[in-house]
Structure formats: structure tokens, C-alpha cells
Amino acid sequence: MKKSFIVIMLFLSALMAVGEDGYNCWLRYVPVENNNLLLSYKQAASEIQVNGTTATIMAARYELSLALKGLLGENIPLTKDIRKNGSILIGNAGFLGEGRKSLANDLQKAGAEGYLILTTSINQKKSILITANTDIGVLYGVFHFIRLLQTRQAIAALHIISAPRLKLRLLNHWDNLNRTVERGYAGFSIWNWHTLPGYVDQRYIDYARMNASTGINGTVLTNVNADATVLTKPYLEKVKALADAFRPYGVKVYLTARFSAPVELGGLKTADPLDPAVQQWWNNKVNEIYSLIPDFGGFLVKANSEGQPGPQNYGRSHADGANMLADAVASHKGIIMWRAFVYSNDLPDDRHKQAYNEFVPLDGKFRKNVMVQVKNGAIDFMPREPFHPLFGAMQKTPVMMEVQVTQEYLGQGTHLVYLSPLFKECLDSDTWSNGKGSTVAKIIDGSLDNHELNGLAGVANIGNDMNWTGHPFGQANWYALGRLSWDHTLSSGQIAEEWLRMTFSNDAAFINDVKIMMLSSREIMVKYMNPCGLHHIMATGHHYGPGPWVNNLARADWNPVYYHKADFAGIGFDRTPSGSNALGQYKAGAKKLWEDSSTCDERYLLWFHHVTWNHPMKSGRTLWNELCHQYNSGVDSVKWMRQVWNKHKTRVDAIRFRQVAMLLEIQEKEAAWWRNACLLYFQTFSKMTIPEKYEKPDQTLDYFKQLKFPFAPGN
């Protein structure tokens, strides 16, 4: 046995026994275990030539050296000139001189942020060229190349051209300045505002590396429930320090703008967007920001929603508000992302309809640098929602999609739920806005309605926990957000497999099983939480656990009873013309899937229809029996997830194995809690028995109702 092989095996077994803390996420560079593959990698990567000296190229060089050292077990030397076969050349195409001509086609396809990875001959030596039109493209290319090695792909003959399908690929942090995180389940905010700007934590740089490796190119640092303090001079200095740390990695900084800041900070009497003094205040503020951060991205705004101030306080429209800010940032090439998550305090109308009613009349009234940011569904990041009717309804406005990576309504920090299938379910939905095939993906990538500005944002699940996301599998959702915003045509399976290989192991048996578990996990959660189109039946405030009985909140549409409408006749929200007619906001092609309760896609049945407890389901069961079946099969499936995980104990390091095993045990208990609480409660209306074959609830309904979680995180 070769010495290097023994060293690798010792290293791996030490890792397995001791365990890993998960800090490196998927940028985990451990030795290649297969000797032949290792040899072929070593032959292809025997020296590195780096062209360029910018911070971004230096980051690319650092990453490549770090990765090769970890993966190949040795330091790969840098060279000024390629002299032997098996060299890697990195640098932007400006350095290629004449050689560039033959690559013109490929480089054109790569565009401003994409890259080319090519096996070619340089100085008559077989080499791998990683190049791009820009330095950031080179860094993205380097990360792709590293991924090939991490996932043990052949690299003998490469010709890869990749360019992002979306321009804005963003994280939205709901982080408060006091370091609490709204809907955050992984500790406190990673932004330590107190020690900034003097202390630049290594975490900030690792955060940027992680993002760049997936293609994420921007971050909104602060909560949409905004605090104007971040716009004061001392805080802008802190923001600048973060922007400087992220810049080499192509991650731009954005902030949330509190609409009333001119009053709160500027001492003005009004924040009316049409008032010249208000406009001037914002112009000055924006100039101040850009003098510190020349590539500042712009603002994300939540206005006139859930108590946030906005233009409507002054009788102005969302367009008036957005345009005022857009004008202030326009000359700096900044943008405004204006959220469409609004629902009126006074309007008794179905909340499902309100954003559409508010925004569709404003289509065409926004400045060119405004995007309307729309949640994937019309209610609020539910386990399953139909796509938001605003997609496809505002063709003159670039509409950006917002998904929730943090799992507010999906098991929070304790449930293993892989979200790529949820994101893709929405992206692949057909809105029919320009006839068949008008998918949400084509709307948000701008290709359907020809929008230059386009993007996807994910509400971050990141905190200061050792492994960033609390649940080790939460990292997969951060990763998936980046990969899908780079290329929404990737399959959830491919993304899961990449992530598993990089994060855990390249062992085929492990990957096959755990990938299936990941791919099934979201559907399993829907079954034990919100089957058949049920939604928003979570407990008050923190949304942790079931609360379908809640009926005492100030606003009707904050109460779960408003959403499920269970009564002695049946259950479900009638959104057909005989009810709220939210269905009327969808195009005929889309509507067809849902409009008739006897043919409705059953995953959305109770979303759109109020049906009897005896309603016949496709399975041959009555609705009541179907609910019993779904809830129970959800719980059984979590038991199965535990078996899958436990089977691979020897293939995962000790610490992370145990973490996931404990969390799955919690998940099983919580799934049973959801099932028992919901079935007992709905039974008070259906008056039907839970079929004998299912496990009986272990507690009474009153027991579940009195559970309290005063310090549940994220609230």
C-alpha cells in the first residue's frame, strides 16, 4: 500500500471518529480516497499559473490552492510560466492575448459573470484553462472546477461554459441590529455590529466564499422590518467594512430602507415621497452611502405592510414611494426591490387577493430600476402554496421572486426539509401569462417579458451557530438557493447530490439513500403538517407547532380558523367564484387545475374549496379518512428517514451523525404532535373516528392547546 494512501485513510478515519463541526459547509476539502482518481487529479494539477493581481483573482488563487492542498494532500506550486503538462492557468481573458480569438465564441456565451473551463494546449503543454471576461467570472469558474474534484468527476477533457440565468442572486437577512434574527433558528446574527467596523470577523470572509461558490452575488444585510439606525453614519461605516470584505467575492451589499427615516433621522415633519425636502433627504443619504460604498446595490423595502411605514401613510401609492427611492439611487446604478407582501389592515378581503389587487394597477408606473419582489405564494411561505398570481400579471415590471430559506413554517430549526423541490415547484409552475409554457422561471429570469433586471432572493437561514444554519441539512437549502439562482434548470436531485458529496461523503451507498431521503423530505413534511391544501394553521406568533384552533387574534386573517374554515359540514377555504374568488386572479390555463372540486389537484383541494368531510378523494377514501391517512403516513415517513440515516452511521463523522440523528428524533416527535393535535381538533367538527389501523393520539386536545413556548426562537 502506498504511503500517501495510508495517510489519507488515517486522516479520514480520524475525521469519522472525532467528527466535524460543519463550519466549512460544502467547501470541505478532504483527501480524495480513490487512488486512481487521486493520481489523475495530481497529473492534471501539478502547477498553477495565475494571471492578475486583483483581490478577486487573489481570492481565486487562494481557494484553488487551499482546495488542492486538501484534496490532493500536497501544496501545488505556483508558476510564472507553464512548462509542463498538467498545469492550471487561471486569469481573465484580457491576459490571453491572441489566444483569446479562438475562444471568442465561448467567451461571448459566458457573458459578464460566466466562465469557461477548457482542457487545452498552452505552450504545447496539456493544461486546464479557467477564464472569463471578468475577474469574478474566473472566481466562479475556479469554484466550479473545485466542485468537479470534490464530487469526484473526471477532469481529463473539459469544455464547460456556464453563465448565470439570473442577474440578482441574493440573500435577504432578516437580521436586527441587536443581533436577533426574525425567523432565525441558527443563533444570533452573524453581523456583530458592535465590533464593526474595526473588527472584521473571518466569518464574514467565509460567508462571502460560501456565497460565491454557489453564485450568490448580493446580500441584504438587515431585516425588512427595518430600523433606520443602519442609515446613520456610524452604521454606514460598519456596512462599508462588510462591503469591503465581501467585494473580492462579488457579493454586493444592499440595505433595507425604513420609509420614515427622513422623519426619524432627518427631523423632517413628513416622509411624503412627493415632498421635495424628503426627496432631497434621500438624495443626500444615498450620496453619503455611495461615497463610502461605491458599488452599493440599493434598497429592499417593506412598506405599508404589517405596521411598516410607507407612502400610503401620505396618500401616495407604492409606485410613488418606490420611484422616489429609485430616482435617488439611479445615477449610482442602484436598484430598488419593493416588496409586494402587503395586505391591508382595514380590508376584510381574502388576503390571498390583496397584493394582486394593489399592484396590478401599478404595472407600468415604476421606474426602470425598480423590481417588485413577490413571495412564491400569495399567503406566506407555507409548506405548499400555489404560485403567486402576481407572477405573469405585471408584464411591464420586472418581478423578482422571494423564497424563504429559513424554515419559519417548515419545521424551523429542527426538521430536515430539503427545499429545492419547493422552490422548483413554483419556478416550474405555468402561469399561462403568454400562453402555455409561461413558467414562473421564465418570468423571473426576464426571458418571457424581456426584462434586463431579474432575480431571486432567499430569506437567509444563517446565524452564528458553529455550522451556520443550526440543522446540518439547513446548509443544503442555502446551497440550493445559490445553485438555482445561477441555473434554475438544475434538478433538485443534482443539487442534492452535489451538496451531499461535498458536505458529507462520496460513498455511493450513502448518497443514494440520503439523496432519496432529502428529495422526499418536503413532501413528507406537507403530509404531517398541512396535507390536502391546508395552510396557516401554525401556533400564534412564533409559528412553532400546530395551532389550528387559534381564533382570538386581533385580525381575522391572522387566525388559523380563517384559513381552514372547518365546520360541521366540511373544511377548506372557498376561493372559487362562490367564495372569495381568488381563483379569478389566475389565467384560465392555470385555473383549470384547481377550479372544480371534483377534479382539483388534491394537493391544493382545501386551498381552493370548502368540501364535505365525506368528499370522495382519488384514493377512494373520504376526505376525513384521507386526512387521517396523510397525517399518519407523514409520521411513518419520518420514522423511515431515521432508519435511512441510522443505516449510514459508519459513513458519516461522529459529530454530524449524532446531530442529525438527534434532530430526526425530535422531528419524529413533532410530526406526531402535528398529527395528533390536528386530527383531534378537526375531529371535533367531522365527528368521525380515526380508523383503527392508525396510532391513537397519546394526549387530549386540551393538552395540545395549552402547550406554550414563550421563548421559541425567531419570533
Residues that bind ligand GCW (CB under 6 A): 174, 182-183, 224-225, 302, 306, 341, 380-381, 408
Could you tell me if 50 and 687 are in contact, meaning their C-beta atoms sit under 8 angstroms apart?
no
CB atoms within 10 A of CB 72: 20
702 as an active site residue: the answer is: no
Nearer to ligand GCW, 538 or 641 (CB): 538
Nearer to ligand GCW, 87 or 222 (CB): 222
Nearer to ligand GCW, 82 or 257 (CB): 257
Query: How far is residue 583's CA from residue 576's CA, in Å, rounded to a whole number?
Result: 6
201 as an active site residue: the answer is: no
CB atoms within 10 A of CB 93: 23
Q: Which three cell numbers stand for residue 105?
A: 465564441
CB atoms within 10 A of CB 598: 8
The number of C-alpha atoms within 13 Å of 380 and in the hemisphere containing its C-beta is 19
Sort 180 into a burial class: Cβ within 10 Å, 0-12 / 13-18 / 19+: middle
CB of 409 to ligand GCW, least distance (A): 8
DSSP string, 98-167: GGGGGGHHHHHHHTTT-EEEEEEEETTEEEEEEE-SSHHHHHHHHHHHHHHHHTT---SS-EEEE--S-S
Task: Write down the catalytic residue from 408, 449, 653, 670.
Answer: 408
Task: Write down the catalytic residue from 272, 320, 380, 498.
Answer: 380
CB of 211 to ligand GCW, least distance (A): 21
Nearer to ligand GCW, 305 or 676 (CB): 305
CB of 526 to ligand GCW, least distance (A): 18
275 as an active site residue: the answer is: no
654-657 contact pairs (CB < 8 A, 24+): 654/16, 654/17, 654/18, 654/19, 655/18, 655/19, 655/20, 655/21, 655/22, 656/19, 656/20, 656/22, 656/472, 656/504, 657/19
Query: Would you give the distance in Å from CA 103 to the centre of its chain?
Result: 34
Three-state secondary structure along 266-300?
Answer: CCCCCCCCCCHHHHHHHHHHHHHHHHHCCCCCEEE
Nearer to ligand GCW, 423 or 594 (CB): 423
Nearer to ligand GCW, 82 or 403 (CB): 403
Task: Write down the catalytic residue from 306, 567, 596, 695.
Answer: 306
Nearer to ligand GCW, 216 or 342 (CB): 342
Of 371, 339, 336, 366, nearest in space to 355 by CA: 339
Residue nearest to ligand GCW (CB): 380
For the chain, how long is the longest CA-to-CA vector? Answer: 82
Nearer to ligand GCW, 341 or 391 (CB): 341
Query: How far is residue 254's CA from residue 296's CA, in Å, rounded to a whole number?
Result: 6
CB of 313 to ligand GCW, least distance (A): 17
Nearer to ligand GCW, 342 or 480 (CB): 342
Nearer to ligand GCW, 249 or 259 (CB): 259
Phi–psi pair at 687, nearest 5 degrees: 60, 25
CB of 548 to ligand GCW, least distance (A): 17
CB of 341 to ligand GCW, least distance (A): 5
Could you tell me if 697 and 705 are in contact, meaning their C-beta atoms sit under 8 angstroms apart?
no
CB of 184 to ligand GCW, least distance (A): 10
CB of 541 to ligand GCW, least distance (A): 9
The C-alpha cell 368521525 sits at 688
CB of 223 to ligand GCW, least distance (A): 6
Using DSSP, state whether 414 is helix, strand or coil: coil
Q: Is the Cα torsion angle 427, 432, 437, 438 positive or negative in sign? A: negative
Phi–psi pair at 673, nearest 5 degrees: -60, -50
Sort 65 into a burial class: Cβ within 10 Å, 0-12 / 13-18 / 19+: middle
Residues in the chain: 715
CB of 535 to ligand GCW, least distance (A): 12
CB of 310 to ligand GCW, least distance (A): 12
Nearer to ligand GCW, 224 or 255 (CB): 224
Q: What's the Cα-to-Cα distance from 497 to each of 21, 418, 501, rounded to whole Å?
A: 21, 12, 6
The C-alpha cell 395586505 sits at 343
Which are the contacts of 90, defined by CB distance < 8 A and separation ≥ 6? 48, 49, 50, 51, 57, 60, 61, 64, 130, 131, 138, 141, 142
Catalytic (active-site) positions: 306, 380, 408
